[in-house]
Amino acid sequence: MNGAGHVNIKIATVVIVAMLVFVHRAEAQPAKIYRIGYLDGSSLSGTAPFLEVFRERLRELGWVDGKNIAFESRFAERKGRERLKELAAELVQLKVDIIVTRATEGALAAKQATSTIPIVMASGGDPIEAGLIKSLAQPGGNITGTVTLVHELNTKRLEVIRDVVTKLKLMAVVIAGDGASVGVKRQIKEIDPAAQHLKLKLLYVDAGREPKGLENAFETAKRQRADALTPIGGPGMFVEAKRIVALATKHQLPAIYNAREFVDAGGLMSYGIDYSDQYRRAAYFVDRILKGSKPADLPVELPTKYEFIINLKAAKQIGLTIPPEVLARANRVIK
């Protein structure tokens, strides 16, 4: 072999060794762990089922806690807007890569805390009215996600309860959350015209934040001879699901709820959005953003899944008969 051949072999050897060293060093480098902040005005106990669905969907998309993502969760424990603002600022200081929020109040607190970190809404009311985004199709800024904005749902719930309680005249609306919150104000704004259309009188009862607030609210509804009841509120309402259901049963008040979690807790009926699906969709937005998409380019989504659930065990407890035509409309009947 001539000298040129030896030189070529040496060069090739050096190149191969260099490539192997590069590959080894690349493999030795730990994968980046993205930090996902979660901001909620409620508590972990009221959100745990939804967060598990969220994490499960992220795992399906290849994002595993402790491997390539880490969670920083903050719960305001129903202590109001100021506490949410403090926790949002805390997440920003931690330099999380994304903030996932629950409800309009959480999204507003996150937006106030940062204009650069991507924010994904897992639920919430009208984001345009709240000043969070420019439009659903083109949100602009650093916020996107999925919202629970469906105006006709409150009308549907009143229609359903009227079909069940045939002599319904007075409907109690128990405010089981911050009565001054954006979400509660929006719900009241929707319920009022719905009741007028159906010729129903409404009795608003604010449970407040006192320990005995819920008990007092249900006693007031019963004393005022309400024929049926529906609770409204923010995320904190889910924390009180078992207590709300127990009080409705105790006072023999037919109640319709906005989510199946209340029926799972023993409640009579629910008509509303599949909140678990909302969190699955939130995981989709997180996945897209971590892979390089900008929130401004991801249209905000409206709910696509609704469910009507009836619990015949609960109906029997309060001596209520559900008409066959109403049962036929249910997605699920618990016997």
Tell me, yes or no, whether 229 and 186 share the same domain: yes
pLDDT at 36: 98
Helix (H, G, I), strand (E, B) or coil at 143: strand
Determine the pLDDT at residue 26. 47
Same-domain pairing of 101 and 172: no
Q: Do 142 and 171 share a domain, yes or no?
A: no
Quick check: is 2 in a domain? no
231 within a domain of the structure (yes/no): yes
What count of other Cβ atoms lies within 10 Å of the Cβ of residue 190?
Answer: 18
Average pLDDT value over all residues in the chain: 89
User: Is beta strand 143-145 parallel, antiparallel or unpaired with respect to 170-175?
Assistant: unpaired
pLDDT at residue 1 in the model: 53
Statement to judge: residues 287 and 249 lie in one domain: no
Residues 226 and 320 in one domain: yes
Pick the range with the lowest mean pLDDT from 101-105, 107-111, 296-300.
101-105
Question: What is the CATH classification number for the domain harbouring 323?
Answer: 3.40.50.2300
254 and 119 part of one domain:
no
- The CA-atom distances, in angstroms, between 249 and each of 93, 254, 313 are 46, 8, 11
Q: Which of 120-124, 135-139, 302-306 has the lowest mean pLDDT?
A: 302-306
Portion of the chain with pLDDT greater than 70, in percent: 88
User: Between 331 and 30, whose confidence is greater?
Assistant: 331
Which pairing describes strands 306-311 and 269-273: parallel, antiparallel, or unpaired? antiparallel
Number of structural domains (the chain) is 2
Q: Which uninterrupted H or E stretch holds 134?
A: none
106 in the same domain as 164: no
Rounded average pLDDT over 42-62? 93
Q: Are residues 263 and 142 in the same domain?
A: no
Domain range for 139 is 34-149+276-297
Instruction: Name the token pair of 115.
Output: 């204009």
Lowest mean pLDDT among 5-14, 215-224, 292-301: 5-14
Residue 40 lies in a domain: yes
- Measured at the CA of 32, the angle between CA 31 and CA 37, to 5 degrees, comes to 140
Tell me whether residue 24 is in a domain: no
Please, are residues 289 and 118 in contact by the beta-carbon 8 Å criterion?
Answer: yes
| pLDDT tens profile 300-312 | 999 988 899 999 9
pLDDT at 37 over 80: yes
- Based on the domain organization, do 81 and 120 belong to the same domain? yes
CA proximity to 257, closest of 157, 175, 326, 166? 157
Q: What is the pLDDT of residues 67-81, one digit of tens each?
A: 999 999 999 988 888
pLDDT tier, 184 (very low <50, low <70, confident <90, very high otherwise): confident
Residue 181 has pLDDT above 80, yes or no: no
Q: Are residues 223 and 284 in the same domain?
A: no
Asked if residue 2 has pLDDT above 60, the reply is no
183 and 328 housed in the same domain: yes
Global pTM reads 0.81
Q: Which pLDDT score, from 0 to 100, does residue 149 have?
A: 75
CA distance 213 to 288: 43
